[in-house]
Chain A
Amino acid sequence: MKGSLIILSFFATGLLLGVMRWLPPQLLSHNAGFYVLCALMFAVGVSIGHDPSSLRQFKNIQPRILLLPFLTILGTWLGVLVVSFFIKNRSLTDCLAVGSGFGYYSLSSILITQCKGIELGTIALLANVMREILTLTLAPWMVKYFGKLAPISAGGATTMDTTLPIITRYSGQNYAIVSVYHGIVVDFTVPFLVTMFCSL
């Protein structure tokens, strides 16, 4: 929670400076965001390749539960499909690209801004931040009515870091491994699915 507040404050500071025009607009014309994104993708790759032990934990999970990330993805798409009928002037693929951020707002909003423009990028940022906040706040209610897997699905790609403490608190410590596994798998799909829907 503290981590996401820091991240949000960086975003808010940039937003404010942009509105106030305190910084020269030349800063944006050199595509700085794109190069930082490349560096970020490289760094994420290094951290995955560097720690094969996180990949080995997968063996300890029940086979049925292994399906959970894929149900999360399908469920999200169905939900977004229904909602997209109520949103005028946005194509279904635009909506699906936003939905495929699965709460990973930093990466998905940056990717979507690069290929679909800043308007959809803003929606992606807001929508995915909201998804994380919804999960953090509604987790106890989800466990009560929809079972212990529900907050894990709702958390999407964030279940291995930001929403993990909340999930273990309400679903139980036994679900920590499931949550981390789910987070890793969904996280991994985000760059691929978002760019796929952007290019459709």
Chain B
Amino acid sequence: MLAGIAVGFLFRRWKIRFIHGLILTLIWLLLFLLGLEIGSNESVVSQFPRLGLQAFLLATGGTVGSVLAAWGLWLVANKKSANE
């Protein structure tokens, strides 16, 4: 990635619009390969409900935690601007 940043900076005068299309295509390809790998792994397929539940718990925990942190900053920021 660092090599990419360097290359991108060096060639910043060029118009490289195709890079965003390339990123998207690579993401598609990767997710397709990931799906293929998961699908052909029988032990993962048979545990899908359990893995899904764990994923749901982690997603909820992470989201709630970050929302509460943002709420804290929101309250502090508003209090300060009210005092000013």
Contact = CB atoms under 8 A, between A and B. Distances in A.
A68 interface: yes
Interface of B: 1-12, 16, 19-20, 22-24, 26-41, 43-45, 47-48, 51-52, 54-78, 80
A5 interface: no
Given A18-B37, A18-B39, A47-B20, A72 B66 contact: yes
A64 B80 CA distance: 10
A80 B65 contact: yes
Contact of B66 (A33, A36, A156): A156
B4 A45 contact: yes
Given A19-B40, A33-B34, 19 more contacts: A10-B35, A14-B38, A16-B39, A28-B36, A33-B37, A40-B27, A44-B4, A47-B20, A83-B58, A84-B61, A86-B57, A87-B58, A98-B58, A122-B44, A127-B62, A134-B60, A142-B67, A150-B70, A153-B70
A196 interface: no
B59 A71 contact: no
B51 A122 contact: yes
B7 to A, nearest CB: 5
Contact of B8 (A13, A14, A47, A150): A47
18 contacts: A10-B35, A13-B32, A14-B33, A19-B45, A25-B40, A32-B33, A33-B37, A46-B8, A48-B5, A79-B65, A83-B61, A99-B61, A109-B34, A113-B34, A125-B55, A150-B70, A153-B69, A191-B1
A147 B33 contact: no
B61 A71 contact: no
**Chain A: interface size category:** 35 or more
Contacts of B73: 64-65, 67-68, 71, 149
Contacts of A37: 30
Given A45-B2, A156-B66, A11 B32 contact: yes
Interface in A121-144: 121-128, 130-131, 134-135, 142
A13 to B, nearest CB: 6
